[in-house]
Structure 1
Amino acid sequence: MTSIGGALVVRPEEAEEVALPDGGGFRLLADAGHTGGALGANRLVLGEGAVGARPHHHVRSTELFYVVDGELEFWLDGATTRVGRGGVVVVPPRTPHAFGAAPARTAELLAVLTPGVDRFGYFRALGRIQHGLDSFESLLPEQERYDVHFLDATVWPR
């Protein structure tokens, strides 16, 4: 990571990788601390039909998803929709949402959260949980810190 004239530059080899067991993973691009709180950004690759995030909402931030490749299925405040390559979904604060690769499809997406919240620790924790090294319950006390407020997982039948 480099700062040039106040601009953040993250070269591909500088981004931290967090592997997921389905062959996917996170590429941690920018955390709030790197952008003066303006935003956080990561790239996520999901294996076939893999869940990306269970139902949750953010209190302080808007989240933007850009589908780089494949097809995503989103659950947005009770409605389900699919978005393919080149599509964008913008989720305002307090809107319940979840997402994953569409059934029998893979997906790659860029996620941007603004204003930013330092969430690299959250993504590392998700990697540990996905590999069975930690429990989902370990994230529950961290909901306020990461501005990820979990909802009843049964509202989205994935």
Structure 2
Amino acid sequence: MTKNRTTFPPVLTRHADAETCVDPSSTMRLLGEGRHTDGGFTSYRSTFAEGAVGAPAHFHTKATELFFVLGGALCVLVGEEVTVLREGDFLSVPPHTPHAFAAAPGFTADVLFVFDRHMDRFAYLRLLGRVMRGEADPKEIAESAERFDNHYVESAAWRDALKVG
């Protein structure tokens, strides 16, 4: 007896074909979004300049966010703990867990990000780039919280970590 299985097309993005979003302190290469898979996924690669702040404290209600450091060092907040991820380190942040990230003091960072749910995150990254370049109003980020499953929170631990760096 054969199970009725839905098959989904592979997602292949060649390096030369990947859309690139550039802002003053980072470059994001949009690798792939699987809208047709079970729950979908989003993957992109970000390179952060020394001193670049990647994202303030936030959480997702649906998605697990995965980080893999390809090079350099990334300072991250997970819950209320701040740590540094170095080349080869992997981190999985489950839904409802506050987190933030920035290039670790004195380092650049090259990071592969994967979300286990498709939430049109490429549209969010494009919006973020426009805001960072002064081409869009920062209010658009706050207004898009539900659409992109990005919910910003205050974190004294993260604020203190940024002061030290």
TM-score (norm 2): 0.86
2:41 aligns with one of 36, 39, 42: 39
For 1:59, give the aligned amino acid: T
Using the TM superposition, give the Cα deviation of residue 38 of structure 1 relative to its aligned residue in structure 2, in angstroms: 2.1
Cα distance, 1:75–1:29 mapped onto 2, change above 3 Å: same
Identical counterparts, % of pairs: 37
Give 1:21's aligned amino acid: P
1:7 to 10, 13, 17: 10
Contact between 1:77 and 1:96, CA under 8 Å: does it hold in 2? yes
Q: Which 5+ residue runs of structure 1 have no aligned equivalent?
A: none
Q: How many residues align?
A: 153
The residue number in structure 2 matching 1:137 is: 139
Q: Does 1:85 align with 2:56?
A: no
Instruction: Quote the Cα distance in structure 1 between the aligned partners of 2:59 and 2:114.
Output: 14
* Within-5 A mapping of 1:19-98: 19-22=22-25, 24-33=26-35, 35=37, 37-98=39-100
- State the TM-score, normalizing by the size of structure 1: 0.90
Q: What's the CA shift for 1:138?
A: 1.4
Confirm or deny: 8 A CA contact 2:82 2:157 kept in the other structure. Answer: no
Counterpart contact for 1:60–1:93, Cα < 8 Å: yes
Whole-angstrom CA distance in 1 between matches of 2:22 and 2:37:
24
Q: Which is higher, the Rg of structure 1 or of structure 2?
A: 2
| Cα distance per residue 1:4-40 (max 9 Å; x no partner) | x821111011110000212x21101112436564211
Q: Deviations over 1:106-137 (max 9, x none)?
A: 00000000022211111011111111222322
The CA deviation string for residues 85-109 of structure 1, in whole angstroms up to 9 with x for no partner, is 0000100000000001001210000
Maintained 8 Å contact 1:31/1:117? no
RMSD: 1.6
